[in-house]
Chains A and B, each alone.
Chain A
Amino acid sequence: MNILTNPSRLRGFEKHIKIENVSRRSILKTLGLAGGFVLAAPVMIRPSFAYETGAGKMPHGVVVDPRVFVSIAPDGIVTIIAHRSEMGTGVRTSLPLIVAEELEADWSRVRVQQAHGDEVKFGNQDTDGSRSTRHYLIPMRQIGASARTMLEQAAAKRWGVPAGEVKAVNHEVVHSASGRKLGFGELAADAAKESVPSVEGLKLKNPKDFRYLGKGEIGIVDLHDITTGAAHYGGDVRLPGMKYAVIARPPVTGGKLVSFDPADTLKVSGVEKVMEVKGWPWPSKFQPLGGVAVIARNTGAAIKGCNALKVTWDDGANAKYDSVAYRAELEAAARKPGLIVRKEGDVEAALKSADRVIVGEYYLPHFAHASMEPPVAVANVKGDKAEVWAPVQSPGGTREDVAKTLGIPEENVTVNVTLLGGGFGRKSKCDFALEAALLSKELGVPVKVQWTREDDVRHDFLHTVSVERIEAGLDKSGKVIAWRHRSVAPSIASTFAAGTVHQAPFELGMGLIDNPFEIANLQCENPEAAAHTRIGWFRSVSNIPRAFAVQSMVAEIAQATNRDPKDMLLELIGSPRIVNLSSVKDPWNYGEPYDSYPIDTARLRKVVELVADKGGWGRSVPKGHGLGIAVHRSFVSYIATIVEVAVDDKGKLTVPRVDTAIDCGTYVNPERIQSQIEGAAIMGLSLAKHGEVTFKDGKVQQGNFDDYPVIRIDESPAVTNVYIVPPASPDTPPSGVGEPGVPPFAPALINAIFAATGKRIRAMPIGKQLEA
């Protein structure tokens, strides 16, 4: 199967990688197999909506069929399918809530059921890229409206009145002329016999009549179960006869097993077997790394047995990976010209003619996702059938990969999606589920594979490591006339294609080539960098190093020219306009059509002004305190943050206050948006203050929360205030929420530290830099 004939999947990277058999999915195949009333994608061209989204271009597109997503029992209980994975954003509640809104269902009589992995049936299920609400707000409304229409038609027939005279209101259909009413449950059987209305003819509710959307008054459906321990995550699945496995994997990425001695392991009480796990050659995509599995009657015995294992590894091609040396390589590359990926004007000439040139070089190390639930999966393989239970962000992709790995038809694979104990991009890669499937196949019993925290940190698909170098040329008046940004980082594409040295458009499009500044001479370059470990998506991805560099540079220029950093930022953003990206070959734009989701500097300016106003920019702060500001557009949302820091005379850093303004277009649940932004501040503080995974002799040097610390409550900001920009109109396209809170946090923090101390941090993490 040729890559060109297949749509991209996950974050749209594969179409840019010149290898075969990576992308395995075909929209045509989907339509051929799907029965009933299934629409793939055309919902986006409905004239009544002012915007299109990229949903239809995702693998398997969008399915708008009430019979797939909604069922109504005779007792009136409405069950709505959640086809995306819940990892803390609230999506398992918010998507069904959209359906319930249009359906006129009473939320207290709605139950949410998690979809298994089946994209032919449900459409795309990849829960990543901050896409769920932006791709599904309209389709879910259509599904709800469609089911409501069927109930109304059934009631009208029952009463022998025109359908136009009846109306669904709060879980019943009413005929106001005669005062008759029928509950949804009473109508369910008849409604199911009605034909599904065409999407074009659907009447959607007027947003002013919304009961749930945009209100933030509905708690997440799992709230009670989470507080009582009844909520089920990947590791909570228990099957009769299930064995517990822990795996020793090659300590160097791409390494191989040479031999192992199981004698001491087999002496551990509870250990039953020690066996090899198949690994795939580097670059191994999402396939398992291989190694030695310890099979036991419980996880504790498997961990103890694994620790007792004696293994000899062949470390392979990445055995010399060393973070100190690699940083020097990246810096050297950043100081030389690289592949030009955006060119406006003549940056060379402008830098030469500049009155002064300010140079900033910013380093961001690898970091690990470290979701609280380490990777874990259960598989039960019997003959040519497999059932998997796993906390995966990509149920459809997991199903494909399990089928391919076991050599069985995809139809024979069931992937049950549990709650995810955090995801952050790690659980878009299903290697842990494939390990469970391979072991269950060999052992003939259900197997749970549990990763330890050390496994998680040492065998992650890490956030890339990067050097971002920016040269800004100023004229005599202090105006920025030239901007050259070189970004050097190993690409996520390297995990799929050997020899990758350039970043993919989806990485370049995250804060590099989409720079919104109004500067006549602007050039972006991407010098080469080869990867020596698995690189993957981490919440907000390349936006983290880019926002860090660009927003730090703005403050550096402000300082050099004696300007207020916020004023400097607004000056660089420039006039309210749609940024012209016609010079960029592939602007990516998060997979969204530029017409619907352009870079709108008026919106960018507005979040800066809003946060400055609400956050009290310019207010006087106590000695040792400082304010920093940063703004960044990512996942087609606009976010600005002000951080207040306090640094004491020993260099101890605390964060008394954070203010963030977000413009994410039309939104569903402002209460969950607030929680995502609160959390993004914590994650941003974690990566800025502590986050660093380093390599020596090819091996990760960290392993657990002692040497890979993350922010705890006693270091967390005292308060994070969130301001959500109301959508300009009900036709304002929804945009991302899960990720975009992260990128502006670290530069706002770094700028605040400068304001407080005069120390400019150019390398993350901050670590002990303030103590010197």
Chain B
Amino acid sequence: MVKLKINGQEQNWDGDPDLPLLWFIRDEIGLTGTKFGCGQALCGSCTVIIDKQAVRACITSVSDAAGREVTTIEGLHPTGDHPVQKAWRQVNVPQCGYCQAGQIMQAAALLTDNPKPSHDQIREAMSGNICRCGCYQRIENAVHLASTGV
């Protein structure tokens, strides 16, 4: 039995301890905001925050998260008004929107670690998150906006 916390709630798992956290979150808990994109930590769509670190849930097993605090997009802010979320809306970042939960979680973790990232630091920190629609210019602008106050 693995015990972990997701968005502040205790969760238990007595199935395969190697199950990727992504599928536990999506299929077993039913929090579908975290997305599947590649399964190999190549695209960042499944990014969640574990103990302040951005983590790819597709290659993190449930047992790796045992006893830890997992935050998904649904738990980032109670009303969806984290500065990054607000900035995202102000800049009209999304096109299809599928990768955006992962992008937002990555950006939130970046700003926790580095509240005033430079242009290059934003690009470097966000480079693990693919957006096939190509919203990068706006992602960069939104992260910058979130870091300077929305």
How many residues of A sit at the interface, in one of the four size bands? 35 or more
Q: How far is the CB of B129 from chain A (nearest CB, A)?
A: 7
With A222-B97, A372-B99, A678-B134 known to touch, is A671 a contact of B127 (CB < 8 Å)?
no
A598 within 8 Å of B (CB atoms)? no
Complex alpha-carbon distance, A497 and B98, angstroms: 34
- Which B residues touch A702, using CB under 8 A? none
A220 CB contact (under 8 Å) in B23, B94, B131: B94
B132 near A223 with CB under 8 A, answer no
Give the nearest-CB partner of A421 in chain B: B98
Most B CB within 10 A of own CB, among A227, A231, A452: A227
Instruction: Pick out which of these stretches binds chain B: A280-288, A705-713, A761-769.
Output: A705-713
- Which B residues touch A420, using CB under 8 A? 96
Per DSSP, chain B at the interface is: loop
Instruction: Pick out which of these stretches binds chain B: A27-35, A202-210, A294-302, A637-645.
Output: A294-302
Give the nearest-CB partner of A238 in chain B: B30
B27 near A244 with CB under 8 A, answer yes
B33 near A228 with CB under 8 A, answer yes
A704 CB contact (under 8 Å) in B38, B89, B131: B38
With A220-B94, A227-B89, A229-B32 known to touch, is A711 a contact of B37 (CB < 8 Å)?
no
B33 near A419 with CB under 8 A, answer no
With A299-B27, A300-B24, A679-B135 known to touch, is A453 a contact of B94 (CB < 8 Å)?
no
Q: How far is the CB of B142 from chain A (nearest CB, A)?
A: 10
B80 near A228 with CB under 8 A, answer yes
B97 near A299 with CB under 8 A, answer no
B138 near A374 with CB under 8 A, answer no
A450 near B36 with CB under 8 A, answer yes
Complex alpha-carbon distance, A676 and B92, angstroms: 12
Complex alpha-carbon distance, A383 and B3, angstroms: 41
Complex alpha-carbon distance, A236 and B98, angstroms: 11
Give the nearest-CB partner of B84 in chain A: A227
Complex alpha-carbon distance, A231 and B101, angstroms: 10
- Which A residues touch B88, using CB under 8 A? 227
A339 within 8 Å of B (CB atoms)? no
B134 CB contact (under 8 Å) in A227, A232, A452, A711: A711
B33 near A453 with CB under 8 A, answer no
- Which B residues touch A717, using CB under 8 A? 137
- Give residues of chain A (676-712) contacting chain B, Cβ–Cβ below 8 Å: 676, 678-683, 704-706, 710-712
A299 CB contact (under 8 Å) in B36, B80, B134, B137: B36
B147 within 8 Å of A (CB atoms)? no
A87 within 8 Å of B (CB atoms)? yes
- Which A residues touch B124, using CB under 8 A? 714
B133 near A705 with CB under 8 A, answer no
Give the nearest-CB partner of B30 in chain A: A238
With A228-B74, A370-B132 known to touch, is A233 a contact of B27 (CB < 8 Å)?
no
A466 within 8 Å of B (CB atoms)? no
Complex alpha-carbon distance, A704 and B130, angstroms: 12
How many residues of B sit at the interface, in one of the four size bands? 35 or more
Per DSSP, chain A at the interface is: loop
Interface string of A621-645 (1 = CB under 8 A from B): 0000000000000000000000000
B95 near A675 with CB under 8 A, answer yes
B33 CB contact (under 8 Å) in A87, A230, A682: A230
Complex alpha-carbon distance, A332 and B35, angstroms: 45
A338 within 8 Å of B (CB atoms)? no
- Which A residues touch B127, using CB under 8 A? 712-714
- Which A residues touch B52, using CB under 8 A? none
B42 near A300 with CB under 8 A, answer no
A713 near B140 with CB under 8 A, answer yes
Complex alpha-carbon distance, A476 and B69, angstroms: 76
Complex alpha-carbon distance, A363 and B43, angstroms: 28
Q: How far is the CB of A709 from chain B (nearest CB, A)?
A: 9
Complex alpha-carbon distance, A423 and B123, angstroms: 26
B39 near A223 with CB under 8 A, answer no
Complex alpha-carbon distance, A453 and B37, angstroms: 7
Q: How far is the CB of A763 from chain B (nearest CB, A)?
A: 24
Interface string of B18-35 (1 = CB under 8 A from A): 111011101110111111
Give the nearest-CB partner of B85 in chain A: A227
Q: How far is the CB of A253 from chain B (nearest CB, A)?
A: 23
B37 near A298 with CB under 8 A, answer no
A224 within 8 Å of B (CB atoms)? yes
Give the nearest-CB partner of A86 in chain B: B96
- Which B residues touch A227, using CB under 8 A? 80, 85, 88-89, 94, 100, 104
- Give residues of chain B (106-127) contacting chain A, Cβ–Cβ below 8 Å: 122-124, 126-127
A422 within 8 Å of B (CB atoms)? yes
A373 near B98 with CB under 8 A, answer yes
Interface string of B68-83 (1 = CB under 8 A from A): 0000111010001000
B51 within 8 Å of A (CB atoms)? no
With A301-B19, A705-B130 known to touch, is A682 a contact of B136 (CB < 8 Å)?
yes
A185 within 8 Å of B (CB atoms)? no
Give the nearest-CB partner of B139 in chain A: A713
- Which A residues touch B12, using CB under 8 A? none
With A300-B27, A420-B96, A679-B95 known to touch, is A372 a contact of B135 (CB < 8 Å)?
no
- Which A residues touch B43, using CB under 8 A? 372, 453, 705
Give the nearest-CB partner of A223 in chain B: B89
A678 CB contact (under 8 Å) in B28, B31, B73, B138: B138
A503 within 8 Å of B (CB atoms)? no
With A228-B33, A706-B42 known to touch, is A419 a contact of B123 (CB < 8 Å)?
no
Interface string of A174-198 (1 = CB under 8 A from B): 0000000000000000000000000
A421 CB contact (under 8 Å) in B24, B31, B85, B96: B96
Complex alpha-carbon distance, A682 and B138, angstroms: 12
- Which B residues touch A453, using CB under 8 A? 37-40, 42-43
B95 near A223 with CB under 8 A, answer no
With A233-B35, A372-B98 known to touch, is A300 a contact of B20 (CB < 8 Å)?
yes
Q: How far is the CB of A190 from chain B (nearest CB, A)?
A: 38
A235 CB contact (under 8 Å) in B16, B32, B100, B137: B32
Complex alpha-carbon distance, A269 and B20, angstroms: 13
B32 near A88 with CB under 8 A, answer no
Interface string of A292-334 (1 = CB under 8 A from B): 0000011111011000000000000000000000000000000
Complex alpha-carbon distance, A299 and B136, angstroms: 30
B23 near A298 with CB under 8 A, answer yes
Complex alpha-carbon distance, A424 and B131, angstroms: 13
Complex alpha-carbon distance, A676 and B94, angstroms: 11
Complex alpha-carbon distance, A419 and B132, angstroms: 15
Most B CB within 10 A of own CB, among A229, A681, A712: A229
A270 within 8 Å of B (CB atoms)? yes
With A227-B104, A300-B24, A713-B129 known to touch, is A372 a contact of B96 (CB < 8 Å)?
yes
- Which B residues touch A71, using CB under 8 A? none
Interface string of A362-394 (1 = CB under 8 A from B): 000000001111100000000000000000000
Complex alpha-carbon distance, A367 and B95, angstroms: 21
In the assembled complex, 27 residue pairs joining A and B whose CB atoms fall closer than 8 Å, in A order, are A219-B92, A220-B92, A222-B97, A223-B89, A229-B34, A229-B73, A229-B74, A235-B26, A236-B32, A238-B30, A268-B16, A297-B15, A300-B20, A301-B16, A372-B96, A373-B98, A421-B98, A421-B99, A675-B135, A676-B95, A681-B134, A682-B136, A705-B40, A706-B40, A713-B123, A713-B129, A720-B137
Q: Which 9 A-B pairs have the closest CB atoms?
A: A229-B33, A682-B134, A421-B98, A300-B23, A88-B96, A88-B95, A229-B73, A679-B134, A226-B97
- CB within 8 Å of B: which residues of A? 86-90, 219-220, 222-224, 226-233, 235-236, 238, 244, 268-270, 297-301, 303-304, 370-374, 419-424, 450, 452-453, 671, 675-676, 678-683, 704-706, 710-714, 716-717, 719-720
- CB within 8 Å of A: which residues of B? 15-16, 18-20, 22-24, 26-28, 30-40, 42-43, 45, 72-74, 76, 80, 85, 88-89, 92, 94-101, 104, 122-124, 126-140
Given A298-B19, A705-B38, list of 11 further CB < 8 A pairs? A88-B94, A224-B89, A226-B100, A229-B32, A233-B35, A301-B16, A372-B130, A704-B40, A712-B129, A713-B140, A716-B134
